[in-house]
Chain A
Amino acid sequence: MSFSLAQILLFIIAYLTGLFAVAYMADRGIIPKRITHHPAVYVLSLGVFAGAMATNGVIALAHQYGYNFLLYYLGVVLMFVLAALLLRPLLRLCRVYQLSSLADVLTFRFRSPWVGAAVTIAMCITLLPLLALQIEAVADSIHILAGNSFAPSPEDHRHDRLALLFCIIITVFSILFGTRHVSSQHRNTGLVTAIAFESLVKLTALMVLFLAAVYGVFGGFADMEQWLIENPQASEPMRQSIQGNGARAMLLMFFAGAVCMPHIFHMAFAENNDSRDLRSATWGLPLYLLLLSLPVLPLTWAGIKLGHELPMDYSGLAIGMALKSVPVNAAAFVAGLSAASATIIVTTLALANMCLNHLVLPLRPLKIDRAQSIYTQLKWLRRGLIAILILAGYIFFVTLSGRQSLSQLAFVALTGTLQFLPGIIATHYWPRANRTGLLIGMSGGLGIWFFSMLLPLAGIDNPVLLTQVYHALLGDSEHLWTAATLVSLGLNTTLFIIFSLLTRTSPEERVAAEICSMDDRARPTRQILSVYSIADFSHRLSPALGENTARSEISRALNELQFSTTETRPHALRRLRARIEANLSGLMGPAVANRIIEDCIPFLPGEHGDTEDIHLIERNLDQAQPHLTGLAADLDNLRRHHRETLDKLPIGACSIGGDGELLMWNQSMEHITGIAPAHVLGSLLGTIGEPWGHILEKFLRGDAATLLKTEVVVETGSSRWVSLHKTLIAKGDQGNTVIMVEDITDLEMLEEELLHNERLASIGRLAAGVAHEIGNPVTGIACLAQNLEYESDPEEIRFMAQDILKQTGRVTRIVESLMNFSHTGDHAGETKLVPSNLADCVDEAIHLLALDREAKSVQFSNHCDRELVVLADSQRLLQVFINLLGNARDACAEDGEVHIRATASDTGDTQIDIEDTGCGIPAELQSQIFEPFFTTKEPGYGTGLGLALVFSIMEDMNGKVQITSPLSSGENPGTRVTLNLPHTNYGLAFEV
């Protein structure tokens, strides 16, 4: 039973066209999104792992190694079941930083384009046997189906032309499949769906073979078991132990393959948008592989029973031939074809991306040409690379020395890719690792691999020395590949560790290690950007990317971050920079993207992140909060508690970085300023809008740690009073400053009110004296007026008129004094410091107090220099003297004395002493006398606000007040109130 070559080729084209149709329908949305984006599709797409090795090679493996064949699956199963170890952190890294291949990850971690280039070249070489394996499996199958037999000499049945034909077809389809999207950020839905479909086809075909083997060859399960009992030699390999170095090496290879093989990496990370899909894969992929592996043993036994001449890899075809069943043959062929085509398509696509990002673009920058965008150039480059890679696979297949078994080819490829495992593990678990160690380790491991595994494939040399070394080391000489695997990996790891420890790890590598580390969350640092607007970004990126591409990339990043085009906050611009780099990384790889961003939008030198981006850290912690446990949860709760305390603090608090960037802005700040935290966090202090930006920045730059009672005129035109306090939290060269903003508007209003009330109360107390004082001249005027009526002597009348004018002048002066005293009842009034004559002010106060006739008779003596001028608000200073002299008079006995003296110091201050001969103030009361409503007078004789207001007024005038009592011993020890006022001078000349 055979098929013509034309029939087979038509079948291949029809199958691949069907596959392309599936991809096309998925891309166009003809297949609903709920199917194409279902986790099951992602899980099935990971079935790309099961290449021709899974459909053909593994049968020979089972025949040779018994249950050890399960290790082929078990390695991958372990990797996915233990996804938390490597896969989950890798997925996080790939998604955040738009990394789409192993070379991207290692370049990102070790911050060197050389690493990317080395890994890419090594990956291309190590993957050649895998590509050759797929080509060989399909070419052999075509050869067998065409009715040819396997002759003893391998040279007789090379079918290179068939292989070339298959390669040409698969190249066309690979290009069609893989280059629809230029950026790795977009999920290639068509490709994922098509590969998932191929996995289903593969599984179905193997199940058909399973049934054909059990029922067609044996006649049922019972008969198969009976045959096994009757033929113990068939089941003998099953009794082999799965332990031993061979098994360990095999498990290691397949375990590493799950993350190091580029096609699995591509499907698992580059084409995965959602971590939920990875969670489904942790059980879905093991289940799929379980089903896929079920037919292996029955197919092996069926092959043994049939005793066919074909290699055991092609037992499926042998069964079809024996049963003369077209469906069984078709199933056997389709299983191999689907597995091989999926592996070749995805592998070459992934390798093409790596070559483009790490070999082509760093050497040949893209042309900035309006006629052909960067995207189109990338697409064509990728297509060319896919063709070259498949051609390289074909050439390698042709150069194979003879007929290697599929499993031999698989072991060579897997041992090669195993050399990347130390790098991947170190990426997450060893921050000390550096690029020198990685490159030297990889060179050592790959060198052993090259000489002991790859060259023998081409028939060159047999590394006896290696076997001897291995035997000496492990005392065992199993298979050569076991020796090569363990020795190469051992040497690789040893060199990696030694050279990483001996050489210096660069600061960039340390930062990247921290980002990749699983023990710590990324600690982003704040660095200062050299651009201040979105337009700057566009301007800077245009020379590297072209104007249109730069605009389109910026617009994409802005959309993803949901920022507006007017954004100027440094924090937002930093995030935009990182996002553009990540997006470019998806387009051109991390090395090129990093180079472009570093060249076009560098950080300012000398500001290398001493300070951490607190805002970003808090956001990360908030996201992680539901999952923190134990000590971490306690610490987080403590953080939240402190954060909430700061937020709910009734005093405004904001934190400003060394560069003037706002890091914290609590609720009270929002209440005081009317600016929400979301609008200012991450902004520069000076840019937050008037009047607050200016006030806060001026205070921040100033030397004073405290600024009391500052008036702020807000947008509505009303005034607010605030007191500002600041403290520096020093850390390294640059420190953060915390500014506390105390809203004292209500207090200030109340104080004004009290001042006014106190003034009115004083006027009230003076009322009787005023009435008496005005009454006397009025009586005099009345008498003079009466006499005037009868007076005829003009000289007398003139004297009387002069007397009347004198008396009215006296009344006017009293009224003016009262008016003057009560004048400053303006609540919104600001303290206006002007040159004021001190002696005149004291006289005025004495005169006013003299109006109170009911008060004790006390002698006031004003000793102040008549020329002494102080910088003060004369109205308020008058109120100060009224209160102090009034208190002094009340404290004195009848005929007591009050002396007022003023002295100007050399420093320009004036000290005013008001001394009385009163009863003094007990020491225990001295600490309370400036408190509002504290009084020692009888009820009705004092409000208790006088000294409080004196204190407040003196503070407003930048002065001080101090009490000294007693001044002497005896019955009337006396009290001295000392006032200090800055800025004094003689005469009227004053410079302020």
Chain B
Amino acid sequence: MYINRLLLLVSGVVLIFFPAIESWMVSSEIAWYRPYQLWLLVVVAAYWNQRTRYPDEL
């Protein structure tokens, strides 16, 4: 099984820091775009990660 190590690390970090991230996200009344900032980070990480080819690709 080929699980990307970077993704594994990010998943672990997100799991550990989820309560803190969540409270930061909902703490502001007007900064409604905060979840999107995180989301954008995920997109960038996914873009970075997809550059690696996997052996089971066809």
**What residues of chain A lie closer than 8 Å to B2, measured between beta carbons?**
84, 88, 518, 627
Do residues A81 and B58 form an inter-chain contact, with CB atoms below 8 A?
no
Asked if A82 meets B58 with Cβ closer than 8 Å, knowing A283-B43, A283-B47, the reply is: no
List B residues 37-58 near A (Cβ within 8 Å).
39-40, 42-47, 49-50, 53-58
Do residues B46 and A624 form an inter-chain contact, with CB atoms below 8 A?
no
- A279 interfacial by beta-carbon distance below 8 Å: yes
Residue in A96, A232, A518 whose CB lies within 8 Å of B58: A96
Residue in B32, B45, B50 whose CB lies within 8 Å of A238: B32
**What residues of chain B lie closer than 8 Å to A66, measured between beta carbons?**
26
Residue in B30, B44, B55 whose CB lies within 8 Å of A225: B30
- A287 interfacial by beta-carbon distance below 8 Å: yes
Shortest Cβ distance from A92 into chain B, in angstroms? 5
**What residues of chain B lie closer than 8 Å to A70, measured between beta carbons?**
35, 39
Greatest chain B CB density within 10 A among A85, A283, A287, A519 is at A283
- A286 interfacial by beta-carbon distance below 8 Å: yes
Do residues A82 and B7 form an inter-chain contact, with CB atoms below 8 A?
yes
Greatest chain A CB density within 10 A among B2, B49, B56 is at B56
Alpha-carbon distance A88/B4, docked complex (angstroms): 12
- A653 interfacial by beta-carbon distance below 8 Å: no
Alpha-carbon distance A294/B26, docked complex (angstroms): 16
Do residues A275 and B46 form an inter-chain contact, with CB atoms below 8 A?
no
Shortest Cβ distance from B48 into chain A, in angstroms? 8
- B17 interfacial by beta-carbon distance below 8 Å: no
Do residues B26 and A239 form an inter-chain contact, with CB atoms below 8 A?
yes
**What residues of chain B lie closer than 8 Å to A282, measured between beta carbons?**
46, 49-50
- A192 interfacial by beta-carbon distance below 8 Å: no
**What residues of chain A lie closer than 8 Å to B39, measured between beta carbons?**
70, 77, 286, 290
**What residues of chain A lie closer than 8 Å to B44, measured between beta carbons?**
283
Complex: chain B residue closest to A273, CB-CB = B58
Alpha-carbon distance A255/B34, docked complex (angstroms): 22
What does the 1/0 interface line of A507-530 toward B look like (CB < 8 Å)?
000000000001100000000000
Complex: chain B residue closest to A222, CB-CB = B30
**What residues of chain B lie closer than 8 Å to A84, measured between beta carbons?**
1-4, 7, 54
Asked if A279 meets B58 with Cβ closer than 8 Å, knowing A229-B29, A239-B26, the reply is: no
Do residues B42 and A286 form an inter-chain contact, with CB atoms below 8 A?
yes
**What residues of chain B lie closer than 8 Å to A275, measured between beta carbons?**
54, 57-58
Residue in A85, A88, A283 whose CB lies within 8 Å of B56: A88
Shortest Cβ distance from A617 into chain B, in angstroms? 14
**What residues of chain A lie closer than 8 Å to B1, measured between beta carbons?**
84, 518-519
Alpha-carbon distance A275/B57, docked complex (angstroms): 6
- A2 interfacial by beta-carbon distance below 8 Å: no
- A569 interfacial by beta-carbon distance below 8 Å: no
List A residues 58-93 near B (Cβ within 8 Å).
66-67, 70, 77, 80-82, 84-85, 88-89, 91-92
Do residues B35 and A228 form an inter-chain contact, with CB atoms below 8 A?
no
Alpha-carbon distance A275/B54, docked complex (angstroms): 10
List A residues 509-553 near B (Cβ within 8 Å).
518-519
Do residues B58 and A95 form an inter-chain contact, with CB atoms below 8 A?
yes
Residue in B22, B43, B53 whose CB lies within 8 Å of A241: B22
Alpha-carbon distance A624/B56, docked complex (angstroms): 7
**What residues of chain A lie closer than 8 Å to B47, measured between beta carbons?**
283
Residue in A81, A228, A229, A242 whose CB lies within 8 Å of B46: A81
List A residues 228-261 near B (Cβ within 8 Å).
228-229, 232, 235, 238-243
Do residues A89 and B22 form an inter-chain contact, with CB atoms below 8 A?
no
Shortest Cβ distance from A492 into chain B, in angstroms? 24
Do residues B50 and A628 form an inter-chain contact, with CB atoms below 8 A?
no
Shortest Cβ distance from A611 into chain B, in angstroms? 24
Alpha-carbon distance A584/B40, docked complex (angstroms): 43
- A280 interfacial by beta-carbon distance below 8 Å: yes
Alpha-carbon distance A513/B13, docked complex (angstroms): 33
Do residues B40 and A290 form an inter-chain contact, with CB atoms below 8 A?
yes
Do residues A229 and B30 form an inter-chain contact, with CB atoms below 8 A?
yes
**What residues of chain A lie closer than 8 Å to B25, measured between beta carbons?**
67
- A433 interfacial by beta-carbon distance below 8 Å: no
**What residues of chain B lie closer than 8 Å to A238, measured between beta carbons?**
26, 29, 32
Asked if A77 meets B42 with Cβ closer than 8 Å, knowing A243-B22, A282-B50, the reply is: yes
**What residues of chain B lie closer than 8 Å to A628, measured between beta carbons?**
55
Alpha-carbon distance A84/B46, docked complex (angstroms): 12
Complex: chain A residue closest to B22, CB-CB = A242
List B residues 9-37 near A (Cβ within 8 Å).
11, 22, 25-26, 29-30, 32, 35-36
- A487 interfacial by beta-carbon distance below 8 Å: no
Do residues B54 and A627 form an inter-chain contact, with CB atoms below 8 A?
yes
- A297 interfacial by beta-carbon distance below 8 Å: yes
**What residues of chain A lie closer than 8 Å to B46, measured between beta carbons?**
80-81, 282-283, 286
Shortest Cβ distance from A32 into chain B, in angstroms? 25
Alpha-carbon distance A228/B46, docked complex (angstroms): 33
Asked if A81 meets B42 with Cβ closer than 8 Å, knowing A96-B58, A243-B22, A275-B58, the reply is: yes
Asked if A92 meets B58 with Cβ closer than 8 Å, knowing A238-B26, A242-B22, A243-B22, the reply is: yes
Greatest chain A CB density within 10 A among B22, B25, B50, B53 is at B50
**What residues of chain B lie closer than 8 Å to A67, measured between beta carbons?**
25-26, 35
**What residues of chain A lie closer than 8 Å to B22, measured between beta carbons?**
241-243
Do residues A283 and B58 form an inter-chain contact, with CB atoms below 8 A?
no
Shortest Cβ distance from B30 into chain A, in angstroms? 4
**What residues of chain A lie closer than 8 Å to B32, measured between beta carbons?**
228, 235, 238, 297
**What residues of chain B lie closer than 8 Å to A228, measured between beta carbons?**
29-30, 32
Do residues A294 and B36 form an inter-chain contact, with CB atoms below 8 A?
yes
**What residues of chain B lie closer than 8 Å to A96, measured between beta carbons?**
58
Residue in A85, A232, A242 whose CB lies within 8 Å of B3: A85
* CB-based closest 10 A-B pairs: A627-B55, A283-B46, A275-B57, A283-B47, A624-B55, A225-B30, A518-B1, A279-B50, A81-B46, A282-B50
**Contacts A/B (CB < 8 Å), 26 sampled:** A70-B35, A81-B45, A82-B7, A82-B11, A84-B1, A84-B7, A85-B3, A88-B54, A92-B56, A229-B30, A235-B29, A235-B32, A240-B26, A243-B22, A274-B58, A276-B57, A279-B53, A282-B49, A283-B44, A283-B47, A283-B50, A290-B39, A290-B40, A294-B36, A518-B1, A623-B55
